């Protein structure tokens, strides 16, 4: 089983290194980010299973610095999307986030855990640095296990049901488009086949064969889909 | 399907789980919510039964009179998943805020006796999206 990939963003270099090492020893692959720009870039590159975001990602001494919390909110606004490209379907999942801080306050808990767009919160958990590494580890385990359950449920759901899952948008009705393509191939293949018989042009015959193959593939794939 | 509260078109049903004998806070809250709808007050003991019996748009749990907030919030949330549930307290702490919100509270606020302040909080609450599903408890 592959190691879960965790993005750990904190501008306190010593703390980041110590905690990241602790998590590596616990079996996680940890990617470190020293500020919000780096964290945003890492998240944009994809492949992250969970993100741990310090609230003050820019300036530890500035109590108005809420950059980690803003990043979590910004990510929460981006709903997970099912992208359809040809015959391939890819789910871009919502990355669970844990907010970490050395300066916990109830206002920040509200910001992190209150439901936002789509009814889901910006973060799944809120951990204070003072609670120690074990509390963070427990939060990671809970978040990853909840995320796995969610992921396992989503791909098997038919598109119509997926559209009702909070925060999920189905971009394309794959099956419909495949069947439309197959129907178009039937018309073009028939027309080219007829042209080949009348004119004896071998290129038209080749074209007709190409569209017949497309038609068969389209029908097989389209009808086998749920 | 119920109309969404907060747009002024429907009367919002508020439930306060608190102390009916206490006059100040329930009264202040009743005045604050008056432009939006009606407030019904029940005790902690009556809360679950009331949540089974009637639907509410907003459930406010007074943390200062409830013995164990998180378990009560979780039970209420299971009964009324669409309600916006708020925990109000005189002395907010981040640990209790986390506990309440992970049990399913929509928000965790400081109790205010100021009508304008409470009304603004209620207005903001009604504008926000409904909760998607109960969050898992961390405890």
Residue B139 covered by a domain? no
Pairing of β A81-85 and β A88-92: antiparallel
- The string of pLDDT tens digits covering residues B72-115 is 999 999 999 999 999 999 999 999 999 999 999 999 999 988 88
| Of A167, A194, A184, nearest in space to A219 by CA | A184
- Report residue A97's pLDDT band, with 50, 70 and 90 as the boundaries: very high
The CA R_g of chain A, rounded to the nearest whole Å, is: 25
Residue B78 covered by a domain? yes
Q: Is B55 on the interface with A (CB under 8 A)?
A: no
A126 to chain B: which residues are within 8 Å by CB? 94, 98
Average pLDDT over residues B115-120: 89
Looking at the structure of chain B, the number of domains it has is 1
- CA of B132 vs chain A CAs: smallest distance (Å): 4
Q: Is the pLDDT of residue A212 over 90?
A: no
- CA of B69 vs chain A CAs: smallest distance (Å): 16
- Domain boundaries, position B116: 12-127
B108 to chain A: which residues are within 8 Å by CB? 106, 109-110
Furthest-apart CA atoms within chain B: distance in Å = 39
The predicted model scores a pTM of: 0.72
A138 to chain B: which residues are within 8 Å by CB? 138
ipTM of the modeled complex: 0.84
Q: Is A109 on the interface with B (CB under 8 A)?
A: yes
CATH number for the domain spanning B53: value is 3.40.50.2300
- CA of A138 vs chain B CAs: smallest distance (Å): 9
Residue B23 covered by a domain? yes
């Amino acid at each position: 089983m592959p190691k879960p990939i965790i993005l750990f963003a904190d501008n306190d270099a010593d703390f980041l290194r110590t905690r990241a090492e602790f998590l590596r020893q616990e079996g996680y692959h940890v990617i470190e980010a020293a500020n919000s720009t780096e964290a945003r870039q890492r998240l944009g590159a994809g492949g992250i299973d969970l993100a741990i975001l310090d609230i003050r990602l820019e300036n530890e001494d500035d109590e108005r610095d809420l950059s980690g919390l803003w990043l979590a909110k910004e990510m929460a606004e981006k709903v997970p999307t099912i992208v359809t490209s040809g015959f391939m379907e890819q789910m871009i999942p919502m990355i669970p986030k844990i907010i970490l801080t050395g300066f916990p306050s109830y206002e920040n808990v509200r910001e992190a855990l209150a439901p936002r767009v789509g009814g889901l919160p910006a973060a799944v958990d809120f951990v204070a640095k003072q609670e120690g590494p074990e509390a963070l580890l427990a939060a990671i385990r809970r978040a990853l296990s909840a995320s796995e359950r969610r992921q396992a449920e989503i791909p098997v759901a038919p598109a119509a049901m997926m559209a009702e899952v909070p925060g999920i948008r189905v971009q394309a009705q794959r099956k419909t488009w495949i069947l439309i393509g197959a129907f178009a191939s039937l018309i073009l293949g028939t027309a080219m086949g007829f042209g080949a018989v009348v004119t004896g042009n071998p290129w038209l015959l080749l074209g007709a064969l190409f569209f017949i193959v497309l038609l068969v593939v389209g029908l097989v794939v389209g009808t086998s889909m749920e | 399907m119920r109309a969404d509260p907060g747009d002024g078109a429907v009367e919002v049903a508020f439930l306060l789980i608190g102390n009916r004998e206490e006059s100040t806070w329930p009264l202040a809250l009743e005045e604050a919510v008056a432009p939006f709808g009606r407030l019904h007050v029940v005790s902690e003991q009556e809360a679950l039964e009331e949540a089974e019996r009637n639907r509410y748009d907003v459930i406010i749990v007074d943390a200062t009179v409830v013995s164990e907030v998180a378990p009560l919030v979780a039970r209420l949330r299971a009964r009324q998943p669409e309600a916006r549930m708020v925990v109000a307290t005189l002395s907010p702490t981040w640990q209790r805020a986390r506990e309440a919100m992970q049990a399913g509270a929509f928000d965790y606020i400081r109790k205010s006796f100021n009508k304008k302040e409470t009304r603004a909080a209620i207005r903001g609450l009604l504008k926000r999206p409904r909760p998607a599903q109960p969050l898992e408890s961390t405890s």
